[in-house]
Amino acid sequence: MMAICCSGCSAILGVTEYMNSGALLKQLEGKVQAVESQLGIIEMVIQQVKSILTRR
């Protein structure tokens, strides 16, 4: 938890959850890589279907 303080008098105005930006970015990076991998597989399947359809 982090305290939100007044810049003038330093009085505590509230609290908030601490967000570790680095950890959040790492999680997002992993998710983006997973989506990229899935898109690669989809692209490969589309190319295979295209190849099958053009043989006919």
> Is residue 42 domain-resident?
yes
> Is residue 4 domain-resident?
no
- Per the structure, the complete domain to which residue 52 belongs is given by 28-56
* The predicted structure's pLDDT at residue 1: 74
> Is residue 20 domain-resident?
no
Instruction: Write out the chain's pLDDT in tens, 56 residues.
Output: 788 899 999 999 998 777 777 888 999 999 999 999 999 999 999 999 999 999 97
Q: How many domains does the chain have?
A: 1
* The predicted structure's pLDDT at residue 23: 83
Q: Kindly report the number of other CB atoms within 10 A of residue 4's CB atom.
A: 9
* The predicted structure's pLDDT at residue 8: 93
Helix or strand run (H / E) with residue 16: strand 12-16
Task: For residue 46, give the amino acid letter.
Answer: I
